[in-house]
Amino acid sequence: MSKFFFRSDSESSSSEESSSEDEKPQQKRPQRTINAAAILYSDDEGDDKRVVRTEKEKRYEVLHNIIKNVRNSKKIKDFNKMLSNFEELLQAYEKAKNVILKEEKGVPRFYIKILVELEDITNECWEDLAGRKAMSKVNGKSLGALRQKLKRYIRDNLTDEIAKFRENPDAEDEQEEEEDKEEEKEDDDDDDSSRQERAPSVPKEKKKVREKSAADDSDDDDDDEWPSDSDSSSSSDDEKPTGGYTREMFLKKAVDPEEERKKEEKKREKLAKKQADKEKRERDAMKDDEECLECEQDDEGSWNVVDRTAAKIAMFSKDAEITHDLVIKKLLEITAARGKKKTNRKEQIELLNELYGITTENNLGAGILIKIMFSITSALFDYNPKLNDAMKVESWEKCVDGVNKLLDLLEEHADVITTGNLILDENEVLDHEPYKIKGCFLTAVERLDEEFVKVLKGCDAHSNEYVERLKDEPVVVGILDKAEKLILKGGSPSEVCRIYLKRIEHIYFKFDPSVIDIKSGKQEPTEVETSLQIMDKLCKYIYSKDSTDRLRTRAILCHIYHHAIHDNWYEARDLMLMSHLQETIQHSDPSTHILYNRTLVQLGLCGFRHGAVKDAHNALLDIQQGGRSKELLAQGLIPQRQYERSSEQEKIEKSRQIPFHMHINLELLECVYLVSAMLIEIPFMSAHEYDARRRLISKSYYMQLRNSERQALVGPPESMREHVVAASKAMRNGDWKKTRDLIINDKMNAKVWDLFYDADSVRKMLIEKIQEESLRTYLFTFSNVYDSISLPNLADMYELDVNRVHALVSKMIINEELMASLDQPSQCIIMHKTDPSRLQCLALQLSDKIVQLMENNEKLLERGSGWSQRNWENNRNQRGEGGNYNKGGRDGGNYKGGKFNQRGEGGGYRGGREGGRGGYRGGNRQDRSQTYGKAWN
């Protein structure tokens, strides 16, 4: 038991009296304390009994707590918190709805009251434009959301109840308050009677203090206002008893009826004044002309219909005569706000549309209509605040309709002159023909085409949304056709080139099967123009009329690309060589550079389909060499290990990406590159097996082979790369059938070869190339084993025609790749063996190492002492690279001169042959012809 309950005022007074008197016997004090404690303990047991509440009381308590939070938020105008409390209130009311329907006849009045208060505060703050602009961004958004949700909830559920409450807001409040007062009085009487029974020794002065404090507490209103520090301190001082704290302080206080009556009168006066102010504001709002122009969009995305007459009254006065000058003045007033920070873009579009409607009704002519339409188109493009981001679907569709409508107006009125910025504002003619308008519809068409690409890039490439947006391309192409017809009537050549280039960019990447069918003879030529003919006509006009290098460069690249995808190999190759774009492309803009990379890739694929393996490899080498083909073709970003992109750089690179339907298959590209490298590299490696300083044709392909050789256990090939590596090993041994089976099989067909238009012809060409290169590899590898080889036997081994084998061997002998001669009567290849001895091989290796050491030392000296180019040339001449030692190689028979001239310009097997064929002849392979012949002449 706490000491708090043992000391009372009576005890303190009695103790003070006893201090002045004589001491009394001490035996009676413990008995008195025990009895008081027993009495108090029994009272406490009665107070701590469990209170059982009904479900209605629980639900109402939750509602009242939320309402209290709403009112606290309302005092500080925290609409963000008010919105969350409102949503909690709706949820709590839905939970308590069943209980309310059982207990009461309708919706509780306190619930309707808080909704009315919320509606009043939101309407009041919404009408205060200055205060709304001063709000924070979060608070302003929450205000709009709360206003819309509250309006919709009242409209759907409580329209009649709210109307009745507004008619007589204080009708039932007095009855409820009187009932509450009676209940409080009954509770107070019960408490007083129990208090008198429990504590009869409480003095009258204390009762007066409690009554006074209760009257002070009654001054607080029911709106849960925060008490001030002074009030709380004064009340605490008044209530503090002189003899210490007693439990009577914590009992329920008495309520003064007079104070309650005064408080209710003040509340009624306050509510009446607020209602009068609200009615006055509503009357003023009905007279306000600007209220008719407000166009709001609710959460479902539907637009409220604006009355045309109300808009007319808002823009112009009732008695105003609608003239050209008045409409132009209003148009300039609306467009003057364009680009400003706090301009409402949606409202600006609506105002321009209304102005267009008013102009149409008053028949003010085509000039002013087209002028307004130019402004509407510009406002539609400006609606998207971020230039790098794609438009929303609704905005995109409105832009398409706006540009289409503008072109239709210009097509209907052929006498309209639009020359962009060449016409000044004061020189415009809008009221009579011929009309002169400042504006450029070609710029709007180009901007629409750019936005179309952004919309495609903003969609998921594997979703139905991308397909739906791709269906808009015929609409965009139709708009380009309309613009082309308008420009051809009176446009300049530069404008014609611009619109032609836009048309080319929608055609160049599309494959037209009719072109292939006509070329192969499967289809007769028709009167309908093919895409190849259209491209030829458009590009040739740009070649002849364009005054800027950029348009001509892009037109050439698109033309080459279109030729390449239609297998016009020679036309595409010749156009690329004649353009000399390889020399100047590094100075172009990034988008043109990307187009160059894409064209080069398609040129390489076209060369591969035609059997030009070396040309195909050279075209694809730069794209595939660094493993960055995805980035170079603008088909995605690859994470970099060396550095991390900044957010700005990543955003710029993403904006340069091309749409998904224009992508080139990267797996097909890699496969063609690796197969081309295999057909070139394997015969070259076999021919230069003993050459330590052999150059690499394809570094990435060589790394694939080396990685495969380093593996301890090599399983069966699964991926495309593994198939190519396994085929390379088989080809190195001259096994062409295994190579064919690894390159052309069901798995590879499904992934790669079936992606070509005429896949069967590609497979047939590839098999022939594998047979030929396998034959060359076999001769390079095993020629030192044979004295002579029969041509018919080679033809049978590789299933080739004898004439074809004869042509291949003859070409190898002419190019000095094979040291042999042909015997026509016997159809045999006679090998010329010149194998070096062991000492000669060691001497060659030693000379190579000495030369390499000299070059390294000279490079170090050049760095340290700064040798000039002239000294370097003199040093090269002393070593025999173009100096006197070359003479010995040309004259022949001079062993020393030939040895030192093995790296000279006049040495080698050819130099020895010209000098009387003295000394040793070269070997039967290319490395020997270039090394052994040089050393022993």
SS3 of residue 830 by DSSP: strand
Residue 255 in domain? no
- Beta-bridged to residue 823, according to DSSP, are 828
CA 479 and chain centroid, separation: 27
* Cα-based distances in Å from 659 to 389, 416, 817, 880: 14, 37, 48, 58
Residue 683 in domain? yes
Residue 228 confidence (pLDDT): 42
Q: Are residues 854 and 812 in the same domain?
A: no
What's the rounded mean pLDDT across residues 258-263?
Answer: 75
Pairing of strands 820-823, 436-437: unpaired
Residue 212 in domain? no
Q: Are residues 684 and 563 in the same domain?
A: no
Q: Are residues 777 and 800 in the same domain?
A: no
H helix count then E strand count, the chain: 45, 5
Domain boundary among 167, 189, 219: 167
Task: Centre a 10 Å sphere on the Cβ of residue 920 and count the other Cβ atoms it contains.
Answer: 17
Q: Are residues 815 and 758 in the same domain?
A: no
pLDDT confidence band for 885 (50 / 70 / 90): very low
What's the rounded mean pLDDT across residues 591-606?
Answer: 95
Do residues 932 and 834 make contact, with C-beta atoms less than 8 angstroms apart?
Answer: yes
Rounded Cα gap, residues 542 and 493, in angstroms: 9
What's the rounded mean pLDDT across residues 828-839?
Answer: 79
Using the predicted structure, report yes or no on whether residue 429 has a pLDDT greater than 90.
no
Rounded Cα gap, residues 451 and 849, in angstroms: 63
How many Cα atoms within 13 Å fall on the side-chain side of residue 760?
0
Phi first, then psi: what are they for 808, rounded to 5°?
Answer: -65, -45
Q: Are residues 584 and 525 in the same domain?
A: yes
The amino acid that residue 128 corresponds to is D
Do residues 350 and 306 make contact, with C-beta atoms less than 8 angstroms apart?
Answer: yes
Do residues 469 and 456 make contact, with C-beta atoms less than 8 angstroms apart?
Answer: yes
* Cα-based distances in Å from 434 to 415, 416, 430, 495, 798: 6, 6, 9, 22, 80
Long-range Cβ contact pairs of 13-21 (< 8 A, separation 24 or more): 13/243
Q: Are residues 591 and 677 in the same domain?
A: no
Using the predicted structure, report yes or no on whether residue 928 has a pLDDT greater than 70.
no
CATH number at residue 802: 1.10.10.10
Predicted confidence (pLDDT) per residue in 762-800, tens digit: 999 999 999 999 999 999 888 888 888 999 999 999 999
Q: What predicted TM-score, i.e. pTM, was given to this entire model?
A: 0.60
Predicted confidence (pLDDT) per residue in 716-741, tens digit: 888 888 899 999 999 988 889 999 99
For the chain, the residue count is: 937
Residue 8 in domain? no
SS3 of residue 902 by DSSP: helix
Question: Can you spell out the DSSP letters for 234-300?
Answer: HHHHHH--TT---GGGGSPPP--HHHHHHHHHHHHHHHHHHHHHHHHHHHHHHH-GGGGG---B-TT
First CA to last CA distance, the chain: 124
Structure token pair of residue 520: 């192969």
Domain boundary among 720, 753, 785: 785
pLDDT confidence band for 693 (50 / 70 / 90): low
Q: Are residues 85 and 157 in the same domain?
A: yes
Rounded Cα gap, residues 420 and 435, in angstroms: 14
- CA angle, 339 then 342 then 348, to 5°: 65
Rounded (to 5) percent helix, strand, coil in the chain: 70, 0, 30
Q: The dihedral of CA 682, 686, 689, 692: what is its sign?
A: negative
Residue identified by tokens 């606290």 is 72
How many Cα atoms within 13 Å fall on the side-chain side of residue 411?
13
Q: What is the mean pLDDT of the chain?
A: 75
Q: What is the DSSP secondary structure assignment for residue 203, as one 8-state letter? A: -
Q: Are residues 708 and 847 in the same domain?
A: no
Contacts of 121 (CB under 8 A, 6+ apart): 74, 77
Predicted confidence (pLDDT) per residue in 86-95, tens digit: 888 888 888 8
Contacts of 472 (CB under 8 A, 6+ apart): 396, 400, 452, 455
What's the rounded mean pLDDT across residues 871-898?
Answer: 44
pLDDT confidence band for 105 (50 / 70 / 90): low
Do residues 172 and 112 make contact, with C-beta atoms less than 8 angstroms apart?
Answer: no
Q: Are residues 618 and 722 in the same domain?
A: no
Task: Centre a 10 Å sphere on the Cβ of residue 161 and count the other Cβ atoms it contains.
Answer: 17
Do residues 499 and 484 make contact, with C-beta atoms less than 8 angstroms apart?
Answer: yes
Pairing of strands 417-418, 436-437: parallel
Q: What percent of the chain has pLDDT over 90?
A: 25
Using the predicted structure, report yes or no on whether residue 567 has a pLDDT greater than 50.
yes
Q: Are residues 484 and 597 in the same domain?
A: no
Residue 523 in domain? yes
How many Cα atoms within 13 Å fall on the side-chain side of residue 849?
6
pLDDT confidence band for 864 (50 / 70 / 90): low
Using the predicted structure, report yes or no on whether residue 814 has a pLDDT greater than 70.
yes
Do residues 771 and 799 make contact, with C-beta atoms less than 8 angstroms apart?
Answer: yes
pLDDT confidence band for 246 (50 / 70 / 90): low
Do residues 420 and 438 make contact, with C-beta atoms less than 8 angstroms apart?
Answer: yes
Q: Look at 148-162, 179-193, 296-310, 311-325 and tell me which has the smallest mean pLDDT.
A: 296-310
Rounded Cα gap, residues 780 and 681, in angstroms: 13
Residue 227 in domain? no
What domain range includes position 851?
A: 838-936
Residue 320 confidence (pLDDT): 73
Q: Look at 247-261, 449-463, 547-561, 665-679 and tell me which has the smallest mean pLDDT.
A: 247-261
Picking from 677, 663, 595, the residue whose alpha carbon sits closest to that of residue 630 is 663
Q: What is the DSSP secondary structure assignment for residue 343, as one 8-state letter? A: -
Q: Look at 116-130, 185-199, 250-264, 639-653 and tell me which has the smallest mean pLDDT.
A: 185-199
Strands of 828-831's sheet, edge to edge?
Answer: 788-790, 828-831, 820-823
Phi first, then psi: what are they for 488, rounded to 5°?
Answer: -65, -20
Rounded Cα gap, residues 383 and 390, in angstroms: 11
Rounded Cα gap, residues 844 and 850, in angstroms: 10
Contacts of 902 (CB under 8 A, 6+ apart): 847, 908, 931, 934, 935
Predicted confidence (pLDDT) per residue in 781-790, tens digit: 888 888 889 9
SS3 of residue 212 by DSSP: helix
Contacts of 146 (CB under 8 A, 6+ apart): 79, 82, 83, 86, 118, 122
Domain boundary among 785, 812, 846: 785
The per-residue b/e assignment along 408-432, b for 16 or more CB within 10 angstroms, e otherwise, is ebbeebeebebeeeebeeeebebee
Rounded Cα gap, residues 524 and 690, in angstroms: 57
Q: Look at 517-521, 668-672, 679-683, 850-854 and tell me which has the smallest mean pLDDT.
A: 517-521
Structure token pair of residue 425: 């504002």
CATH number at residue 310: 1.25.40
Q: Are residues 672 and 766 in the same domain?
A: yes
Q: Look at 126-135, 535-544, 770-779 and tell me which has the smallest mean pLDDT.
A: 126-135
Looking at the structure of the chain, the number of domains it has is: 6
Using the predicted structure, report yes or no on whether residue 257 has a pLDDT greater than 50.
yes
Residue 895 in domain? yes
Do residues 554 and 592 make contact, with C-beta atoms less than 8 angstroms apart?
Answer: yes
Residue 134 confidence (pLDDT): 83
Rounded Cα gap, residues 467 and 450, in angstroms: 18
More confident residue, 589 or 695: 589
Residue 440 in domain? yes
Q: Are residues 778 and 809 in the same domain?
A: no
- Highest averaged pLDDT of the listed ranges 227-241, 432-446, 586-600: 586-600
Residue 738 confidence (pLDDT): 92
Rounded Cα gap, residues 664 and 657, in angstroms: 13
What's the rounded mean pLDDT across residues 266-278?
Answer: 75
Structure token pair of residue 830: 């006679």
